[in-house]
Amino acid sequence: MSAAKLQAPRGTQDVLPEDAAARTAVERAARAVLEPAGYRRIETPTFEQTELFSRGVGASTDIVQKEMFTFRDQGDRSMTLRPEGTAPVVRAYLEHGMHKEPQPVRLWYLSSFFRQEKPQKGRFRQFWQVGAEAIGAADPAVDAELVVLLRELLESLEVRQVQLRINSLGTPESRAVYREELTRHLRAHGDRLSDDVRSRIELNPLRAFDSDHAGTQEVMASAPLLQDFVSDEDRDHFAEVRALLDAAGVPYEIDPTLVRGLDYYTRTIFEFTSGELGAQSAVGGGGRYDGLVEQLGGPATPGCGWAAGIERMLLAAGARPEPEPVVDLFVAWEPEARRTAFEVLTEARRAGLGAQMDLAGRSRKGQVKQAARLGARYVAFVGADGCALQDTEAGEQEDVDPAAVVARVINGRHLA
């Protein structure tokens, strides 16, 4: 009896070699957009103390309530695979004293995240995000800068049918007053709400705007709107963010029902969607989180950021053919010439050439075929008594000392 085959866990996926080039392109694009704007790369650990997320993301959120991969370490401490990037980055900002550096501190990351969600197209249990955070400045130009940069990234990746929605959530104080009004409205129409929304009226009434349940949507159509509750300062801040986006020529739609699944947001929030994506249409989003640093034990410090899903950006960008790696030289060899062949191969790679050598025990004919399959420009035939170098483009072959093969290939490349 043979052993049962193992599979990757549900909702996870392997990044295969044919997928890797597209991901490298995302990383390159993110760096090209973010680093000239002053964002520096940061990577935090894959797991953190669970408390970071229950305090940072918010105990009432879906993420903390039901989506975290949490486990106990050998010291019986509760740990969690990171479900998002902002709370860890803020923790690192405080832990490394970055609040003492000139503000804002701009950081970006490209990492994998973990949420125990129901897997479907574009929704995984391990997924990758590019994120950017600007911590330490409340100026509306920070919010606008971040929106513009995410749009640039989506554009440079040719993500199709992109739309931007923005909203302002006000401060925790104005939101508290609004929350009460909204809770009252939801309670008054409790019989028409989905069970899920009804059971969480007290815990998180704002999430009712996100529901796809028909009855709930009808109730929400007449719900009070947050914008009627925000303070003058918040209203002015949002007006300035909009004016800056207008000045930058970035089209957007104001969506007073836009909410996001994390508790830490204040003032501006935004979300980019793509019409290419179907049900899971969000490609990236974020917002301002002026209370988060303090919530995690630091001084009162404003912050703003976003995260964009790499799988979703690639899905919405459509297939883009990636060039195959170039093989400059294929080293074919006879059994007694392995060492010489290996020397030629190593020297070629050290010289920066794309070089391969047969490792499957192919016959001479088989090696020629393999070289052609790889599109090798040169093929060296290394035998016991010498070496022949074939230029496959010119269709020419000449005898060459094995030690001279690499120089010949390099010269030939220059001539080509």
* Contact set with ligand AMP (CB under 6 A): 84, 115, 117, 122-124, 127, 129, 260-261, 282-285, 307-309, 311-312
Give the residue with the Cβ less far from ligand AMP, 119 or 383: 119
Q: Tell me the two tokens of residue 67.
A: 């989506």
Residue closer to ligand AMP, measured from CB, 317 or 387 = 317
Q: How far apart are CA 380 and CA 387, in angstroms?
A: 7
Residue 122 or residue 402: which is nearer to ligand AMP going by CB? 122
Nearer to ligand AMP, 200 or 312 (CB): 312
Q: How far apart are CA 265 and CA 407, in angstroms?
A: 60
CB of 405 to ligand AMP, least distance (A): 48
Strand, helix or coil for residue 70? strand
Least distance between ligand AMP and beta carbon 49 (Å): 19
* Shorter beta-carbon distance to ligand AMP: residue 53 or 333: 53
User: Closest approach of Cβ 47 to ligand AMP, in Å?
Assistant: 17
The nearest distance, CB 129 to ligand AMP, in angstroms, is: 5
Alpha carbon distance 186, 190 (integer Å) = 6
CA 415 to chain CA centroid, nearest Å:
42
Nearer to ligand AMP, 92 or 282 (CB): 282
In 161-280, where does DSSP find H-type helix? Answer: 172-188, 195-199, 214-221, 232-247
CB-closest chain residue to ligand AMP = 309
Q: How far is the CB of 59 from ligand AMP (least distance, A)?
A: 17
Shortest distance, position 224 Cβ to ligand AMP, whole Å? 25
- Could you check whether the bond before residue 104 is cis, i.e. omega within 30 degrees of 0? yes
Cβ atoms within 10 Å, residue 260: 20
φ/ψ (deg, to 5) at 249 = 70, 30
Q: Round to whole Å and give the CA distance between 121 and 351.
A: 44
